[in-house]
Amino acid sequence: MMQAVDIAAAVRAGHVRAIDMVERCLAGLAQADHLAAVTRVLAARARAEAAQVDAAIAHGHDPGPLAGVPYGVKDLFDVVGLPTTAGSSLYADAAPATHDAEAICRLRGAGAVLVATLNMDEFAYGFATINATHGTTRNPHDVTRLAGGSSGGSAAVVAAGLMAFSLGTDTNGSIRVPASLTGIYGLKPTHGALPMAGVFPFAESFDDAGPFTTSVADMRCIWQVLTGSPVDGAAPTDLRVARLGGRFRDNADPDQLAAIDAIAPHAPIIELPEIARARSAAFLITAFEGGALHADALGRAAMQFDPATRDRLMAGALLPRALYDEALAFRRDFKQQTAVVIADYDVLLAPAAPCVAPLIADPRIVIDGGMVPARSDLGIHTQPISFTGLPALSVPLRRPGRLPLGLQLIGKPGGEAALMAFAEMLEGTGLTGQGLTGIASPVEELA
Residues 6+ apart with CB under 8 A from 217: 3, 5, 424
Q: Which of 88, 154, 166, 174 is catalytic?
A: 174
Q: Is 150 a catalytic residue?
A: yes
What number of CA atoms fall less than 13 Å from residue 412's CA on the CB side?
14
For residues 174 and 323, what is the distance between their CA atoms, to the nearest angstrom?
25
The number of angstroms, rounded, from the C-alpha of 370 to the middle of its chain's C-alpha atoms is 27
For residues 302 and 318, what is the distance between their CA atoms, to the nearest angstrom?
14
CB 104 within 8 A of CB 97: no
Helical ranges in 347-434 per DSSP H: 374-377, 383-388, 416-429
CA torsion sign for 203, 127, 212, 445 is negative
For residues 431 and 356, what is the distance between their CA atoms, to the nearest angstrom?
17
For residues 278 and 380, what is the distance between their CA atoms, to the nearest angstrom?
11
Q: Which of 74, 188, 412, 441 is catalytic?
A: 74
For residues 13 and 270, what is the distance between their CA atoms, to the nearest angstrom?
49
Q: Is 174 a catalytic residue?
A: yes
What number of CA atoms fall less than 13 Å from residue 176's CA on the CB side?
33
Eight-class DSSP state of 77: B
Q: Is 166 a catalytic residue?
A: no
Q: Which of 150, 166, 386, 441 is catalytic?
A: 150
For residues 165 and 161, what is the distance between their CA atoms, to the nearest angstrom?
9
E-only strand ranges, 220-309: 241-244, 269-270
Residue among 61, 169, 82 nearest 125 (CA): 169
Catalytic residues: 74, 150, 174
